[in-house]
Amino acid sequence: MAKFMVMARDSGEYPDMSPEEIQGIIQRYMDWSERLRRDGRMLGGEKLGDGEGRVVRREAGALVVSDGPYAESKEVLGGFWIIEAADYEEAVRQVSDSPHFDFGTLEVRRVEEMGDDS
């Protein structure tokens, strides 16, 4: 088993939805993550702050801090989950029924374990 980070990106914009519709979408996310949790695949998740962030770099020996990186990207990284899967094939299968594809993309990245030499 390996850990995978599933990063959720979307436009950050939502059409005019009614409370009933919004609840329906949340329920689909909950059903999805609940299934992963039941299968022992969901390790957790976090929401990232919207429209904020700092990019820190060193230029000519001094740290330069700038706002970002949201400005350069059409899709913003809204949050992430950590899931467990045997390999990429399974990780992709686990996220394939996520409702997120109605709003944006998911990026799946394996977390390197200490001692991995692959």
Partner 1 sequence: MTGGAPPAGVGALVDHLFRHGAGRMVATLARALGPARLDLAEEVVQDAMIRALQTWPHQGVPANPRGWLFRVARNRALDHLRREGRFSGTLAPALAGDGDASGGREMDGAGDDELAMIFMCCHPALPRAGRVALTLKSVGAFSVEEIAAALLARPDAVAQRLVRVKRQIRDEAIPLELPPEREMAARLPAVLEVLYLLFNEGYGAHAGENLVRAELCGEAIRLARLLAGSPRTALPATHALLALFLLQASRLPARQDEAGDLLLLAEQDRTRWDRRLVAEGMRHLARSAAGREVTPYHVEAAIAATHAAAPDAERTDWPAVLRLYDDLLAMKPSPVVALNRAVALAMAEGPEAGIAALGALSGEAALARYHLLPAALAALHHRAGRPAEAARHYRDALALPCSEPERRFLTRQLATCEA
List residues near partner 1 by CB under 8 A. 8, 14, 16-23, 25-27, 29-30, 33-34, 37-38, 42-47, 50, 78-82, 100
Phi, psi of 30 (to 5 degrees): -65, -40
Phi, psi of 18 (to 5 degrees): -85, 160
Question: CB 43 → partner 1: shortest distance, Å?
Answer: 6
Closest to partner 1 by CB, 44 or 68: 44
User: What does the CA dihedral 95, 101, 107, 111 come to, rounded to 10 degrees?
Assistant: -20
The residue written with tokens 């949050």 in the block is 79
Phi, psi of 91 (to 5 degrees): -60, -45
Question: CB 17 → partner 1: shortest distance, Å?
Answer: 7
Question: CB 67 → partner 1: shortest distance, Å?
Answer: 20
Closest to partner 1 by CB, 35 or 66: 35
